[in-house]
Amino acid sequence: MIDRDHLEVHVAGTAAEPGAGWELEWVDRASGIVRARKGGRAVMLLVEGVGSHWAVTIRGRRIPVEVRGWRERVLARAETAARDDAGPLTVSATLPGLIVTVAVRPGDEVQEGDPLLTIEAMKMQNEVRAPRGGRIIEVSIAPGQAVATGVALLRLE
Amino acid sequence: LRTDSPRPPFDRILVANRGEIAVRITRTCREMGISPIAVHSDADAGAPHTRAADHSERIGAAPAGESYLSIPAIIAAAVRSGAGAIHPGYGFLSENADFARAVEAAGLVFIGPPPTAIEALGNKLAARRAVEAAGVPIVPGTTVALEDDVSAVERIGFPVMLKAAAGGGGRGMRRVDRPDELAGAMAAARREAAAAFGDGTIYAERLVSPARHVEVQLLGDRHGRLAVLGERDCSVQRRHQKLVEESPSPGITEATRAALFESARGVAGTVEFHNAATVEFLVDAGGNHYFLEMNTRLQVEHGVTELVTGLDLVAWQIRIAAGDRLPDAVVDAPRRGHAIEVRLYAEDPYDGFRPVAGRIGAWRMSEGPGVRVDTAGEAGMEVRPEYDPLLAKLLVHAEDRPAAVTRLRRALDETLIGGLQTDAGFLRWLVDDEAFADGAYDTGLIGERWGAGPPLSDEDTALAAFVAAEARRETRPGATRRVATRSVSPWGERARQDALRG
């Protein structure tokens, strides 16, 4: 089961739990200026970003923060799992959606991180990238096809 | 202050610089009834310093060598715009004797010391000889160009600093700790000096450590009158370059201060001097001082002196250039209270103060009692790798040092710069640092006490995580817009309820 509302947070590369007891108030939403209050004391800080990449500036220090929703979480785990597997690898759909483009054909050599295909889900295009380098031995889907989570998309040698 | 001439000394002044210093000079021009003319490279078309002026002249392409360092382009711009004088600011051509001569040859007034003084003091090695001959202590070391014979350096004693004769301002310096490193370091220092300054001449000085970096501000008129306007302590440095300056110095005695002033007069006496200059010294733990160099221009940190003296140094530079005499009110200007300047740079203090480029996001500068901000930054501005990454200078003035430090802490808390990493996190740490608070610090402070900065506190980590997660929730498609949110434990549940109540 996927908890679609849970957010996984990494602060400066380390998993972190959001702090309790703070009250936030936007001072200037467009610039990301926020007032944070706790225990009767207020501090001004900055929050900037989009998607899963954020930066929060506290007392002059700009701190990188990764905020992963269920989609990025699933993609990240699939990538990690794939990297750990040395043999032939099946790349499966990590989310349900519509195949929009397929960038590779059987026989193509790909490097880790190369775009393989895009899946449109919840009106967002999600790029599926090669979890490791290798030769494509099979492509099981085509543009326009709807896929469910776990459906095999292609195989890497 | 009353001056000799009731009318503005010039109708128009061309400000041959960019960024905050160009804006700062423009402001004084306006106060004096002088029309300020800006110059800009292609990268700076429409930049804040051009908008501050009455008119701006294009002087060339983005690289400084093709624009802000081009003597013909700047002289031509001054002539085209009808300027009667040129203020060079700091950096770029401000200490270039050829430029000062070219300005005068074009029939314009150069707002700065005479070319002969710029030249004499620009050669750091020749300046060391002249200053030593005048009886002012210099940092022990060589007074002639280093040849391949290393015995001269070995007699000084290690560690030594190798310096470029044509360098200055902390550039072209190399530390050598052991005799076996010397030959290689000398070859590298010569190469660097030749590449950076077109002159590979180097010399050696004993490393004075621990030391404070203290400098004395001078103003001299064209009639032989000299004003010694107090000192600035610039001991908080990275890469031998200043980040924080304050006046008075918290680390010297009255006797040392008097000796520094006397030595500064002695240094100025080695050349025919007028206009503004700064004499830099190292002061060791025993209170002994040693001449480093004399900068024949306005310093970045001149505002510190302006706050404690109440004088406008740029206005006096302009009046002196026009031939005015320094009145007693300037020569005997009392110094009041304590001033501190911190420099806000686009650089990463958590990664060796590496310069960063990028686009500024949010931009909020401090205001209020005792606060001055000199800047040409603004939201959305591109910080380009071609130019100095100085974003702003934040200055505070208060009745004494503890009050100034407290004011600086408040001012830094009001300062918000988004889009890129700045040294603001370091500066905010500094005001809480014990050594800085005591005033008992030296040029080793950043290396010894900051390093790569403290680890993130648990509190800041948890706050950053909460704020970023909340910001993401709000930007999610279909999310209910909320004015306020609250973090509770378990943190997710309540926030969602708040969202639903909207």
pLDDT computed for residue B497 by the predictor: 45
Using CB atoms, pick whichever of B418, B485, B486 lies closest to residue A48: B418
Contact status, residue A106 vs residue A137, Cβ threshold 8 Å? yes
| Chain B residues with CB-CB distance to A22 below 8 A | 463, 466-467, 486-487
How far, in Å, are B250, B378, B389 from residue B359 at the CA level? 37, 10, 12
Q: In B294-319, which positions are buried (b, 16+ CB within 10 angstroms) versus exposed (e)?
A: bbbbbbbbbbbbbbbbebbbbbbbbb
Asked whether this complex has an ipTM greater than 0.85, the answer is yes
Dihedral over Cα of B413, B418, B422, B425: its sign: positive
Contact status, residue B18 vs residue B68, Cβ threshold 8 Å? yes
pLDDT computed for residue B485 by the predictor: 58
How far, in Å, are A62, B189, B358 from residue B419 at the CA level? 9, 36, 7
pLDDT computed for residue A77 by the predictor: 77
Residue whose C-alpha is closest to residue A58's, from B465, B438, B394: B465
The shortest C-alpha distance from A15 to chain B (Å) reads 9
* Alpha carbon distance B446, B453 (integer Å): 9
B362 part of contact set with chain A, CB < 8 Å: yes
The shortest C-alpha distance from B64 to chain A (Å) reads 30
pLDDT computed for residue B304 by the predictor: 98
Q: Which residues contact B84 (CB under 8 A, 6 or more apart)?
A: B10, B11, B12, B13, B108, B109
Q: In B487-496, which positions are buried (b, 16+ CB within 10 angstroms) versus exposed (e)?
A: beeebbeebe
Mutant choice from B348, B359, B416, B423 vs A, greatest count of A C-beta within 10 A = B416
A and B: number of Cβ contacts within 8 A: 162
Residue whose C-alpha is closest to residue B91's, from B44, B22, B36, B161: B22
Cβ contact B468–A49 (<8 Å): yes
Contact status, residue B395 vs residue B378, Cβ threshold 8 Å? no
Using CB atoms, pick whichever of A5, A46, A58 lies closest to residue B362: A46
Q: Average per-residue pLDDT in chain A?
A: 86
pLDDT computed for residue A97 by the predictor: 76
Cβ contact B425–A59 (<8 Å): yes
Residue whose C-alpha is closest to residue B388's, from B60, B34, B138, B68: B68
A 63-82: CB under 8 A from B = 63, 65, 67, 69
pLDDT computed for residue B3 by the predictor: 54
pLDDT computed for residue B170 by the predictor: 73
| Chain A residues with CB-CB distance to B463 below 8 A | 19, 22, 36, 45, 56, 58
* Alpha carbon distance B270, B266 (integer Å): 7
pLDDT computed for residue B491 by the predictor: 39
Cβ contact B467–A56 (<8 Å): yes
pLDDT computed for residue B198 by the predictor: 87
Q: In B395-413, which positions are buried (b, 16+ CB within 10 angstroms) versus exposed (e)?
A: bbbbeebeebbebbbbbbe
* Alpha carbon distance B406, B432 (integer Å): 9
Q: Which residues contact B448 (CB under 8 A, 6 or more apart)?
A: none
- Which of A53-62, A66-75, A93-102 is the least confident region? A93-102
Residue whose C-alpha is closest to residue A101's, from A125, A82, A118: A118
Per-residue pLDDT tens digits of chain B, which is 502 residues long: 445 566 889 999 999 999 999 999 999 999 999 999 999 999 999 999 999 999 999 999 999 999 999 999 999 999 999 999 999 999 999 999 999 999 999 999 999 999 999 999 999 999 999 999 999 999 999 999 998 778 888 899 999 999 999 987 777 788 999 999 998 889 888 988 888 888 999 999 999 999 999 999 999 999 999 999 999 999 999 988 899 999 999 999 999 999 999 999 999 999 999 999 999 999 999 999 999 999 999 999 999 999 999 999 999 999 999 999 999 999 999 999 999 999 999 999 999 998 898 999 999 999 999 999 999 999 999 998 888 899 999 999 999 999 999 999 999 999 999 999 999 999 999 999 999 999 999 999 999 999 999 999 999 999 999 999 999 998 765 555 444 555 544 333 444 444 444 3
What sections of B227-360 are H helices per DSSP?
254-268, 302-309, 313-321, 328-331
Mutant choice from A4, A23, A29, A57 vs B, greatest count of B C-beta within 10 A = A57
pLDDT computed for residue A122 by the predictor: 52
Q: In B32-51, which positions are buried (b, 16+ CB within 10 angstroms) versus exposed (e)?
A: bebbbbbbbbebbeebbbbe
pLDDT tens, B111-122? Answer: 999 999 999 999
B 374-403: CB under 8 A from A = 379
Helix H, strand E, coil C: the string for B35-52 is EEEEEEEHHHCCCHHHHH
The shortest C-alpha distance from A13 to chain B (Å) reads 11
Q: Tell me which amino acid residue B380 is.
A: G
B461 part of contact set with chain A, CB < 8 Å: yes
| Tokens matching residue B432 | 């809480």
Residue whose C-alpha is closest to residue A127's, from A135, A116, A136: A116
For residue A80, is pLDDT > 80? Answer: no
The whole model's pTM is what? 0.85
pLDDT tens, B219-269? Answer: 999 999 999 999 999 999 998 889 999 999 999 999 999 999 999 999 999
* Alpha carbon distance B219, B175 (integer Å): 33
B472 part of contact set with chain A, CB < 8 Å: yes
* Alpha carbon distance B253, B284 (integer Å): 12
